[in-house]
Amino acid sequence: MVGKNCFAIASDRRLGVQLQTIATDFQRIYKVHDRLFLGLSGLATDAQTLYQRLVFRHKLYQLREERDMKPETFANLVSAILYEKRFGPYFCQPVIAGLGDEDKPFICTMDSIGAKELAKDFVVAGTASESLYGACESMFKEGMEPEELFETVSQALLSSVDRDCLSGWGGHVYVVRENTDVRCIFKHDHSDLILLRSIKYIEKELNMLL
């Protein structure tokens, strides 16, 4: 979900095989660089394999171009890799979120063979996508500041996963603006929020105090 010169990306924490829960602290959101994040819903092994391939390609790009990949370029890369495997696809539905030029948020999602879906407000993926569409549609408003955006995304996620038996056990939320990212982990109880700030954000505050 996008805000004013910022974006938030969130996922639940459940890893399961159909109705059997395997783990309750599974990570689905990956940091590509300071201004770009990737969420991968779907088969866990395919998600990890796809992420490793994307990290490899991004590092090659950094060596060749001596700069980080823009969100639009990264989305094209993900789409190309997925379409390359269209006859034996990765069972993943990626969500890409990043800050482009002039801190303009970029978000998109795609299906398992790389057909992109671009949006200017929010995108969803996974088993709870139907309830997520409803919650995000009702809660979203343009120009939200990072604090309001975090609250909106968190409530939308919790409300949606409560309506899906294959999702849940809390969530991970990342709110990103400029070169600062704040990571939040909350459990399945709405009142139990644990805020974990990134090392970069803590170092920035320490430098201000010193």
What is the β-pairing status of strands 15-17 and 36-42?
Answer: unpaired
Contact between 105 and 126 under an 8 Å Cβ cutoff? The reply is no
- Domain ranges for the chain, please list them: 2-207
Burial 44-67, CB ≥16 within 10 A → b, else e: bebbeebbeebeebbeebeeeeee
pLDDT for 197 equals 43
Q: What's the fold here for domain 2-207?
A: Glutamine Phosphoribosylpyrophosphate, subunit 1, domain 1 (3.60.20)
Nearest CA to 36 out of 71, 81, 82 is that of 71
d(CA 148, CA 177): 13
Predicted local distance difference test score (pLDDT) of residue 191: 43
Average pLDDT of the chain, as a whole number: 85
Please check whether residue 118 is in contact with residue 97, taking contact to mean a CB–CB distance below 8 angstroms: no
Over residues 26-56, the pLDDT tens digits come to 899 999 998 899 999 999 999 999 999 999 9
DSSP assignments along 18-49, one per residue: TTEEEES----EEEEETTEEEEEEE-HHHHHH
User: What is the rounded CA–CA span in Å between residue 24 and residue 50?
Assistant: 22
Alpha carbons within 13 A on the beta-carbon side of 43? 9
Give the bridge partners for 2, in sequence order.
Answer: 7
Binned at pLDDT 50, 70 and 90, residue 208 comes out as low
